[in-house]
């Protein structure tokens, strides 16, 4: 048995060399070595056919794989890459949908769920506050009178916050004008449609009405003093006025809806103060006014009095840009 094995091994002492199978060649040749050359001066980096090695296009034209282009945006030719990313990404409608939902819920509450036990009394109060009814000996609640007059100043405050620096593609002034009659219920649709950043304001616009009035320190000072006087008038009253006002709040739709309007205007004001502050590039110096703006009416009014003029911020921004260009 051992000798037969030896004979067999002697007869096949030299075996022919193994040749690679042609079936494995497509697998071997289909591997692409891709080298991507990136240049800092160019804004697009593409895969070049010259950098692909090991492909025999003549023998295997049908098995060539599709290539994908790699787009590399350079920041050298783009001074503001974050702006382009936001434009490419599109607008986020989450906050708009939530604000529209809040607006619809508020309208439904005011028309259907708010207390409405004294409609005749509400009409009488409205005539007395509009001076459509003479002196009949009835003493109006001082807190109600103060609330009524302070609601007439809130649209002016929001006009000074929205028209210069809170503008958008949607025109703001119709909503501000309607807020003199509808309060926050007229402003909420604009809050939902507002899309930052706000367009810049030119010097010609600042010198014309209404921006010349809304940017005036005199307007801001008169608003602050008038609001302070109204609040002091409402607070310095009889001890029974607060108890009477709470009863009105539980029974009267007019007073209930107006009080809710005042609370919502006070809640939204700090955001618009922050937006105005950052637009004027005054956040580093005026950040201490952000917690102050939480104080209803007086906080935003104080900010409007102390904020810098838009002409000063635009002039400083122009000088800074000219220095960097030089």
Domain residue limits, the chain: 92-315
- The answer to whether 77 and 155 are in contact (CB under 8 A) is no
pTM for this entry: 0.69
- Inform me whether the pLDDT recorded for 230 exceeds 90: yes
Residues with Cβ within 8 Å of 291's Cβ and at least 6 positions away in sequence, in order, are: none
Q: Any idea which of 24-38, 233-247, 250-264 has the lowest mean pLDDT?
A: 24-38
Question: For the chain, what's the residue count?
Answer: 326
CA distance 182 to 106: 12
Instruction: Determine the pLDDT at residue 90.
Output: 66
More confident residue, 213 or 74: 213
Instruction: Determine the pLDDT at residue 294.
Output: 96
Q: Count CB neighbours of 153 within 10 A.
A: 17
User: Using 50, 70 and 90 to split pLDDT, how confident is the model at 207?
Assistant: confident
- The answer to whether 286 and 313 are in contact (CB under 8 A) is no
Please report the beta strands in the chain, taking only residues with DSSP state E, as ranges in sequence order.
33-34, 52-53
Q: Which residues of 241-278 are buried (b: 16+ CB within 10 A; e: fewer)?
A: beeebeebbeebbbbbbbbbbbebbbebbbebbbbbbe
Angle at 39 between CA 36 and CA 44, to 5 degrees: 75
More confident residue, 72 or 18: 18
Tell me: cis bond preceding 197? Omega within 30 of 0 counts.
Answer: yes
- Inform me whether the pLDDT recorded for 77 exceeds 50: no
């Amino acid at each position: 048995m051992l000798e037969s094995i030896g004979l067999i091994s002697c007869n096949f002492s030299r075996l022919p060399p193994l040749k690679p199978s042609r079936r494995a060649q497509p697998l071997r040749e289909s591997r692409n070595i891709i080298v991507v050359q990136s240049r800092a001066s160019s804004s697009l980096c593409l895969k070049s056919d010259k950098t692909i090695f090991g492909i025999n296009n003549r023998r295997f034209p049908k098995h060539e794989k599709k290539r994908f282009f790699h787009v590399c945006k350079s920041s050298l030719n783009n001074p503001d890459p974050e702006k382009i990313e936001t434009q490419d990404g599109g607008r986020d409608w989450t906050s708009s949908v939530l604000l529209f939902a809040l607006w619809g819920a508020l309208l439904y509450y005011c028309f259907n769920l708010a207390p409405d036990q004294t409609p005749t009394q509400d009409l009488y109060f409205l005539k007395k506050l509009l001076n459509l009814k003479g002196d009949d000996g009835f003493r109006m609640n001082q807190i109600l009178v103060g609330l009524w007059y302070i609601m007439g100043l809130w649209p002016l405050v929001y006009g000074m916050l929205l028209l210069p620096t809170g503008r958008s593609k949607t025109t703001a002034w119709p909503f501000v004008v309607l807020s003199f009659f509808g309060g926050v219920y007229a402003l909420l649709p604009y809050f939902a449609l507002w899309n930052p950043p706000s367009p810049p304001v030119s010097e010609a616009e600042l010198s014309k009405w209404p921006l010349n009035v809304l940017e005036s320190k005199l307007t801001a000072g008169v608003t602050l003093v008038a609001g302070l006087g109204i609040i002091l008038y409402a607070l310095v009253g009889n001890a029974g006025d607060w108890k009477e006002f709470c009863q009105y709040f539980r029974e009267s739709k007019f007073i209930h809806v107006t009080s809710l309007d005042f609370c919502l205007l006070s809640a939204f004001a700090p955001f618009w103060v922050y937006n105005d502050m950052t637009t004027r590039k005054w956040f580093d110096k005026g950040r201490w006014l952000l917690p102050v703006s939480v104080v209803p009416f007086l906080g935003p009014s104080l900010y409007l009095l102390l904020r810098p003029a838009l002409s000063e911020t635009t002039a400083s921004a122009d000088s800074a840009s000219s220095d960097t260009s030089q």
